[in-house]
Amino acid sequence: MRWRLLIAGTLLLASLTAGAHQQKESITRVLFNPRTGNIEVMHRFLVHDAEHAVKAIFGPDADILGSETSRRRFAEYVHERFQMRDQDGVSLPLTPVGYEIEGRFLWVYAEAPAPDDLTALTLVHDALRDLWPDQVNLVNVDRDGKTMSALFAGAGREVEIQLHPVPE
């Protein structure tokens, strides 16, 4: 009976340990805010993944949880690898707004003024994809109560989203 409990305990521990590995996925929300006239960008990464990333990018002393510098550098890294362009290919320059750890997530924020005549949005989201080929970045674009999604996985580098007409 003891060996069955030992095996069951070992299997339980193995399954919990497997759950602690890198997820290699992020979710970004791009929100058109009618109150401010801005496009707000909110990137959400698992702290565990971000911790592995900063050590790979900035060296073994980087520490997402314990170092403000590591969090700032990771946010800068994300900003450098996320881009938005309008239907004419003109870049929409994003202004970094901040970053924070909330529970098991690291959030990175940015915003840009929303052009009045925006009909399409081309997105590039390479954060962590330069480190891990199996990294998946999902971007949800919310405008006027409608959500459109772009998935960055594999070799695809950019995705164009056709936006519904701007309300008059």
C-alpha distances (whole Å) from 139 to each of 28, 82, 84, 88, 153 are 5, 11, 11, 21, 11
6 found inside a domain: no
Residue located via tokens 């602690």: 20
Q: Provide the 8-state DSSP code for 145.
A: T
Average pLDDT, the chain: 86
Q: Say whether pLDDT at 78 is over 70.
A: yes
Highest-pLDDT range among 7-16, 22-31, 62-71: 62-71
54 found inside a domain: yes
168 found inside a domain: no
88 found inside a domain: yes
- Which pLDDT tens digit goes with each residue over 124-138? 999 999 999 899 999
56/50 Cα distance (integer angstroms): 10
| pTM for the model | 0.84
15 found inside a domain: no
Asked if residue 37 lies in contact with residue 114, where contact means CB atoms within 8 angstroms, the answer is yes
Q: What is the mean pLDDT of residues 163-167?
A: 67
3-state secondary structure of 38: strand
Asked if residue 116 lies in contact with residue 57, where contact means CB atoms within 8 angstroms, the answer is no
Asked if residue 123 lies in contact with residue 159, where contact means CB atoms within 8 angstroms, the answer is yes
Q: What is the pLDDT of residue 2?
A: 39
Residue 165: which pLDDT band, with cuts at 50, 70 and 90?
Answer: low
Indicate the angle between helix axes 68-80 and 47-58, nearest 10 degrees: 90
Q: What is the mean pLDDT of residues 20-35?
A: 86
Residue bearing the bigger pLDDT, 41 or 157:
41
3-state secondary structure of 97: strand
1 found inside a domain: no
Residue type at position 139: V
Closest of 9, 42, 33, 12 to residue 110, by C-alpha: 42
Task: Provide the domain limits for residue 60.
Answer: 22-162
148 found inside a domain: yes
75/100 Cα distance (integer angstroms): 9
Q: Say whether pLDDT at 167 is over 90.
A: no
Number of domains observed in the structure of the chain: 1
1/67 Cα distance (integer angstroms): 48
16 found inside a domain: no
Q: Say whether pLDDT at 19 is over 70.
A: no
